[in-house]
Structure 1
């Protein structure tokens, strides 16, 4: 996990250079404290505790295997991301509640063994609704879904977005209605349409009267394209400004390390590494 984290940090500049095919740039300072604290916390949590987490069980079942160690221990790295900065409040969605409970357990366990050091962070539930997969509306949309047609990405081209919505799973009824329990696929499209336009679901359905699902898919696709257009434009603009991106990485790394380094040093002293 430590190796993976270090590679992710090092990969930022490599990614930027690859986009521009420019000359090698000065290396960006690394923040390795997250990975080091993650290892220490991993030594304090038992295997059944991690296997109990819903996302581990769901993703393992979907992969039709026992899953990977990285998938199993990723929530501990998330805990390290939070505890390294002694966070007191963390905004999370419903699907991350169990992971936050793990963070709280780890903080309390560490404090019980080594003295009160970490604040036990509180969860702040965000009112975000889950967007369902376009190919399987019974599960949430996920960037890790192996089916590339299941997920809409902000960086998708307009052509890709239209193609994905055309392939979205609906049903044999052509009318546009919002009935999540009975018509999950169409209702998912309505929910997405309402979210990107800021229009209530009821009004979205009313404005789509007379459209069959084929034409409605195109309407939703166009609404998503319009919503994402300025975001995609800004992303493309930033990708062209390599100097600015590398400056952000350097400044951010320095600020993060300034906070994280003394925390990790104190943790190492408490556990007996230093």
Structure 2
């Protein structure tokens, strides 16, 4: 049923004039709860299977560090987000367990962080609908996710269009104060901040405005096209190293990595992106500085240096690959951990959504 025109205009006026609205003091026990946990981190990752080297260095290493730095940390396998593109149900189930095993093997500790499957916590979808009713279509059209993917597909689904609202709901549902993101996701986090302000001004303070935790880790580039990010969807199999690749596959992919015609190893991302990408990978996997990696490469041509890089990657990933294999052999254990995570996540989410429902007028 359509809203009366007067109501729509009033809502639009409120959105435009939001900064001038007086804040009403409706803060309840849910708000007080947020003061008990002033620092709460939330992040999510789509279940596209086993992560690649770029995921590991760009996000997962940081996730492991954050669980030791903040009192409350939540990591979600965001399967609701994954179905904005068609998915095979059996493959999706397998991908969820692959990712769960990978996160555990990389160092995510369920005793320190709440690890859970997004779709198992129904509060995400309900809060997304409520926030979607406070979001304008022009606001969503200008976000990078829609502009990029809708062009690739000529048109996009409603789910793809409203994807950032669900992202905002994921964050706000837990009254998150900090969100680790890459630079390409900053605009989406700004939407979450805007929606926190809109809700708070309309219904009273409830949501903190989440702050960005920009990752300082280096971005890993494609081994076949160093101008692009490493991606699981890259059609060139030699372009991407997954964290379960065998030592032989890792050595082969690095050996075939695109460099240039200069044999000396130097760090110059602008003019020598391929060689510079290898130096960044070497430095990250060997836990040394880029300067130290250049120093170790002194006297080696790029062919010999690739062997050094391969050794560092193989040595770092070997225990992770072995642990993933062990965990994947126990699907019931992985499902049990996700079930425990669901209970913990709902303990935090349910009171917040109940308060939202009350303030909106549903109960």
**Does TM, normalized by the shorter one, top 0.5?**
yes
1:224 Cα offset (Å): 0.7
1:124 Cα offset (Å): 2.7
- The structure-2 alpha-carbon separation of the partners of 1:265 and 1:133, relative to structure 1 and needing over 3 Å to count, comes to same
- Is the CA contact 1:16–1:242 (under 8 Å) kept in the aligned structure 2? no
- Is the CA contact 1:16–1:239 (under 8 Å) kept in the aligned structure 2? no
In the alignment, what sits opposite 1:36? Answer: 126
- The partner residue of 1:100 within 189, 192, 195 is 189
Which shows bigger deviation, 247-256 or 158-167? 158-167
In the alignment, what sits opposite 1:187? Answer: 276
In the alignment, what sits opposite 2:104? Answer: none
- Is the CA contact 1:13–1:246 (under 8 Å) kept in the aligned structure 2? no
Unmatched runs of 5 consecutive residues or more in structure 2: 1-78, 84-88, 99-116
Cα distance in 2, alignment partners of residues 59 and 141 from structure 1:
17
- The partner residue of 2:140 within 38, 50, 53 is 50
Query: How many residues were matched structurally?
Result: 262
- Is the CA contact 1:6–1:32 (under 8 Å) kept in the aligned structure 2? no
Cα distance in 2, alignment partners of residues 202 and 137 from structure 1:
20
* Other structure's SS at 1:217 match: helix
- The structure-2 alpha-carbon separation of the partners of 1:250 and 1:45, relative to structure 1 and needing over 3 Å to count, comes to same
String of CA shifts for 1:121-142, please: whole Å, max 9, x gaps.
Answer: 2223332222222222223223
String of CA shifts for 1:10-36, please: whole Å, max 9, x gaps.
Answer: 9799439999xxxxxxxx992111122
* Other structure's SS at 2:213 match: strand
- The structure-2 alpha-carbon separation of the partners of 1:67 and 1:256, relative to structure 1 and needing over 3 Å to count, comes to same
1:266 Cα offset (Å): 2.4
Cα distance in 2, alignment partners of residues 70 and 171 from structure 1:
42
1:253 Cα offset (Å): 0.8
Specify which structure has the bigger relative contact order, considering alpha-carbon pairs within 8 angstroms and separated by 6 or more residues: 2
- The structure-2 alpha-carbon separation of the partners of 1:49 and 1:6, relative to structure 1 and needing over 3 Å to count, comes to closer
1:206 Cα offset (Å): 2.3
- Is the CA contact 1:176–1:213 (under 8 Å) kept in the aligned structure 2? yes
- The partner residue of 1:244 within 333, 339, 343 is 333
Unmatched runs of 5 consecutive residues or more in structure 1: 20-27
- Is the CA contact 1:108–1:120 (under 8 Å) kept in the aligned structure 2? yes
- Is the CA contact 1:93–1:128 (under 8 Å) kept in the aligned structure 2? no
In the alignment, what sits opposite 1:86? Answer: 175
Which shows bigger deviation, 38-47 or 255-264? 38-47
Give me the TM-score of the superposition, normalised by structure 1.
0.82
- Is the CA contact 1:178–1:186 (under 8 Å) kept in the aligned structure 2? yes
- The structure-2 alpha-carbon separation of the partners of 1:133 and 1:66, relative to structure 1 and needing over 3 Å to count, comes to farther
In the alignment, what sits opposite 2:295? Answer: 206
- Is the CA contact 1:176–1:186 (under 8 Å) kept in the aligned structure 2? yes
- Is the CA contact 2:267–2:275 (under 8 Å) kept in the aligned structure 1? yes
In the alignment, what sits opposite 1:265? Answer: 354
1:240 Cα offset (Å): 2.0
- The partner residue of 1:196 within 269, 278, 285 is 285
Which shows bigger deviation, 232-241 or 186-195? 232-241
Cα distance in 2, alignment partners of residues 69 and 131 from structure 1:
31
